[in-house]
Structure 1
Amino acid sequence: MSSKQAVWAVVPAAGIGSRMQADIPKQYLEIDNKPVLQLTLERLASHPAIDGIVIALAEDDKWWSDLSLALPCQLLTATGGKDRSDSVANALKVLQQQRADDPWVLVHDAARPCLRHEDIDRMLVTLSEDTVGGILGIPVSDTVKRVDADNVIKETVCRQGLWRAATPQMFRLAMLSQALSSAADQSLAVTDEASAIELAGYQPRMVEGHSDNIKITLPQDLALAALYLRQQTGER
């Protein structure tokens, strides 16, 4: 990838993670005595292509100031919104105030601390000349069932061509900002950045990543992420 192409990361971190059944937001729970969010930020910031990070924080975040961060890149903060898409949009506005160019933006979940540098490399190489951008994902390998409201199986879904969407999701700053703004204007719910890009009429590319890039959602995910991080030692 050309060194002239600026790359920034955006991390929406304003959620509360209600499924964790914890007293604090899941991104502040600890793995081996370090908050998940800190692990995620350090993993992103230590990649040589990342020029800076914008993190969107909840307005009443009481834990952010307690983090001990010494990142090798610029770190900006934005105010999070009601939904993930609002937080990302706010972060992009902060970045647009800082940058006169149109850098690539890698939007990454705060609760995915196991992202490999190898997967960032693959995204940058695959998408650097793409006119739209794309996302990291994993092909569906399990048998997929569709059920009704009573959990009665109605059909087995063909898994050919099905992928599990992950992050980072990589798009140009201007295109993503416009796509999110357009979706908001139309009151269209978007659960990830690719959804907004798709609604704007574009077709993002899928880039295959590693299955250990898990999103911490349930309490047992903390132990699994800790295991993956230990396994990755020396592979970052």
Structure 2
Amino acid sequence: MIWAILPAAGTGSRSGSALPKQYRPLLGRPMIEYAMDVLAAHPDIDGLMLALAPDDRRWDDITHWRNKPLRTCLGGAERRDSVLAALDALAEAGLASDDWALVHDAARPCLRVEDLHRLIESATAHPVGGLLAGRMKDTVKRADADAQVQGTLDRTPLWRAFTPQLFPARSLRRALQHAAQENAVITDESSAMERLGLSPLLVEGADDNIKVTLPDDFAFAEAILAARGAR
């Protein structure tokens, strides 16, 4: 089984709105619903788990999304805590040894179906798992504290990490537990796996799988979705 986890307990303070950014509207719908729709439509994904803020009651009476089971749990202060809480909740429900966890940002509404399919095919065939990512295309500079150029980096081995990220659920849970015990800063699930000496697979995805973070990003995401005819 593959469970899709969406950490959605954050406030989105950088988005310039009092409303948590995952619920800000894009083309008239809450942003999180676009990500949920793509995930729920994939035949290999068996259910969705949302990690929510304590006062989030939007999902109290919703048990399915697009005919897939929908579960919720209480998220944490950090991404690491929310994903671990989701995995703990799934473990209590009976995770099998061969179950997988696919983690996707609620603020990435522009995920392409074909990228999701490629990730699932590639990562489930890899012993560690993998993540969508984009090759670095710009020239990359190294700077000092005063923003003065100190050198130009070789961009050939550099990638930008996206989501979804897909790993064996039990392995990811152990990696996040270890990170929590050491109070390590985890910005994505791959970094938790890397801390254990593992090397996830990078699966190239489209650059328009943007993460909506700043106010201007909302208009960009709407333009992408409108061009696809999304509603």
Please report the TM-score for the alignment, with normalisation by the length of structure 2: 0.93
Which residue number corresponds to residue 94 of structure 1? 89
The code of the aligned residue for 1:150 comes to D
Q: How many angstroms apart in 2 are the aligned matches of 1:28 and 1:125?
A: 30
Q: Give how far 1:30 is off.
A: 0.3
**1:28 touches 1:63 (CA, 8 Å); kept in 2?**
no
Counterpart in the other structure of 2:107: 111
Q: 1:11 aligns with which of 2, 6, 11?
A: 6
User: What is the DSSP-based 3-state SS (H/G/I as helix, E as strand, rest coil) of the residue aligned with 1:171?
Assistant: strand
The 3 A distance-change label for structure 1 pair 128 and 108 is same
* Mapped partners of 1:13, 1:106: distance in 2: 14
Tell me the distance in 2 between the aligned counterparts of 1:60 and 1:209.
34
Q: Which amino acid in the other structure matches residue 194 of structure 1?
A: S
Conserved in 2, the CA contact under 8 Å of 1:136 and 1:209? yes
Q: Which amino acid aligns with 2:25?
A: E
Task: Select 2:170's aligned residue among 162, 168, 174.
Answer: 174
Aligned residues: 229
Shift of 1:176: 0.1
Displacement after TM superposition at 1:65 (Å): 5.8
Q: Distance in 2 between matches of 1:66 and 1:210?
A: 35
Residue segments in structure 1 that go unaligned for 5+ positions in a row:
1-5
Q: Distance in 2 between matches of 1:77 and 1:126?
A: 28
Closer/same/farther in 2, CA of residues 51 and 21 from structure 1, 3 Å limit = same
1:186 equivalenced with 2:162 (yes/no): no
Deviates more, 1:189-198 or 1:218-227: 218-227
Match for residue 55 of structure 1 among 36, 50, 55: 50
Residues 60-94 of structure 1 show CA distances to partners (whole Å, capped at 9, x for unaligned) of 22655699x84220011011111000000000011
User: Could you report, residue by residue, the CA deviation over 1:27-68 in whole angstroms, capped at 9, with x for unpaired residues?
Assistant: 11101110001221112111121100111001122655699x
Structure 2 distance, partners of 1:97, 1:42, is 26
CA contact (8 A) 1:134 1:207 kept: yes
Aligned match of 1:29: 24
Where does the alignment leave 5 or more consecutive residues of structure 2 unmatched?
none
Q: C-alpha separation between the residues in 1 aligned to 2:59 and 2:11?
A: 13
Q: Does 1:43 align with 2:10?
A: no
Q: What residue identity is the alignment partner of 2:212? A: I
SS at structure 2 position matched to 1:112: coil
TM-score (normalizing by structure 1)? 0.91
Moved over 2 A (4+): 60-67, 230-234
Measure how far apart 1:11 and its partner are: 0.4
The one of 117, 121, 124 aligned to 1:121: 117
1:177 shift after superposition: 0.1
| 1:160 aligned counterpart, secondary structure | coil
Question: Which residue of 140, 143, 161 corresponds with 1:165?
Answer: 161
More divergent stretch after superposition (125-134 vs 161-170): 125-134
SS for the counterpart of 1:166 is strand
1:3 is matched with: none
- Alpha-carbon offset, residue 193 of structure 1: 0.3
Q: 135, 138, 141: which one pairs with 1:142?
A: 138
Query: Displacement of 1:100 after TM fit?
Result: 3.8
Report how far residue 233 of structure 1 moved.
Answer: 3.6
Q: Look up the SS of the partner of 2:19 in the other structure.
A: coil
User: 2 CA distance for matches of 1:75 and 1:62?
Assistant: 14
* Range that drifts further, 33-42 or 147-156: 147-156
Amino acid at match of 1:159: R
